[in-house]
Chain A
């Protein structure tokens, strides 16, 4: 059976060119980047080269890049670190949205339990934040605004530059969770007025376990790990040199190939969406046009997401769902509820996220097997109109 991987928002395979850059770092350039001797300094050199590559990719200065263990750590460091640094100076009010990733969502939940006040901006039916709502939510004691660049579930892209301008006008620190967009969408932290930005290497064909936080010079923040002086003390711990080298190489490749790859994926995405919408009672979730070129998210009425995933997997197709049954918590996706879906519609959601190795044949195959899967599950469903009790 052929594997068709359509879950690139979850993770990607490491690009062979990235792996090639990483391999010697495990065994040849194995020094501790903090060591004075030449073996350590060889590793240091690689770390700094990677820092330059990351900085260049987002229009930052190398000194503004801090390596972390991934997107979650970068998000936690940004939100908790700024909150802690600013609480005694300006206030305890923070602003975010109702559709953030759990790394942000739960950081804010923690802050709320610990005496901070949080305003959650609403989103419209397509998952868009309205800049006017941000303007309204800002208070004299607001210390941080955190809004994701593009949503991991529905792919909706926020007007970050516009939101950033509002934060700048009010002198409020602006954090952007860009885990889904670094390497996929053009980013310029200055043009977009971003003060902090999180990324994770494995979302753009780099290794897992490494990410970075961009921190604008002058922004106040407190560290969350306490240790040595690595990363200027903001993120202590021996540098994951192979991971950092992989991150640097991955971002370099992703940015260079971005335009071409986006155009290719967008064509596949549109083909996939059009084909899925031909099945009766299927709706598209997320924004019709302002969405990641890799993201397809639909709700299939009368059937349940996990059942769809299992059925697709039996055909070799890897996908994802915001259904409650498929999540360990038995709560449907907060993102799908935030865009106004009722429980059954959120339950029947299916997310297919494209990537570099996907082809038109993959899309054709999905569209070939989907109608059968939907029909089979609907035949089983007590809520399908045809099956209503006679």
Chain B
């Protein structure tokens, strides 16, 4: 396998692997191409990602890209986090074999879904607060 040392390091020592008990948002994506699954958990405080965890079922590159992504977005605002592209993730890992480039896409997609899920949760919460107040 033509993986960089950094990819192998993330594969061997994944950062932020696991689950968050009461997450602000969760995102899960599956990849139809090779049948892999990534799940990302977020804790968001004041629009900033204060905690992030992931679980990945897939190849070495899939594990490494999710791990790398979590490192890149921790402490960032949601807007900043959403700007991270799969090319950024791949670059940070020192490159990926061409056939594996889609794996970094997968990681960025999972993050996006998690942020959307958070925003939805937030909206619902606000509405229920509003409903409670109007009563």
Contact = CB atoms under 8 A, between A and B. Distances in A.
Nearest to B66: A380
Interface string A312-323: 011000000001
A380 B35 contact: no
A324 B55 CA distance: 19
B102 to A, nearest CB: 8
A380 B60 contact: no
Nearest to A330: B34
Nearest to A342: B35
A387 B19 CA distance: 8
Contacts of A381: 55-57
Contact of A390 (B17, B21, B33, B38): B21
Contacts of A310: 1, 3, 8, 11, 60
A382 B58 CA distance: 10
Question: What is the interface of chain B mostly: helix, strand, loop, or mixed?
Answer: mixed
Given A328-B99, A330-B33, A347-B35, A304 B58 contact: yes
A10 interface: no
A374 to B, nearest CB: 13
Contacts of A380: 14, 17, 55-57, 63
Given A306-B60, A307-B60, A390-B21, A382 B35 contact: no
A343 B8 CA distance: 25
Interface residues of A, number: 27
Nearest to A325: B59
Contacts of A323: 59
B34 A382 contact: no
A383 B62 CA distance: 15
Contacts, number: 71
Interface of B: 1, 3, 8, 11-12, 14, 17, 19, 21, 26, 28, 33-39, 55-63, 99
Contact of A330 (B17, B56, B63, B99): B99
Given A310-B11, A390-B21, A302 B57 contact: yes
A383 B37 CA distance: 8
Question: What is the interface of chain A mostly: helix, strand, loop, or mixed?
Answer: loop
Nearest to B40: A382
Given A307-B60, A381-B56, A383-B37, 5 more contacts: A310-B1, A347-B34, A387-B19, A387-B55, A389-B19
A190 B41 CA distance: 64
Interface in A305-356: 306-307, 309-310, 313-314, 323-326, 328, 330, 332, 343-344, 347
Contacts of B35: 324, 332, 343-344, 347
Interface string A172-216: 000000000000000000000000000000000000000000000
A303 interface: yes
Nearest to B67: A380
A307 B33 contact: no
Nearest to B57: A381
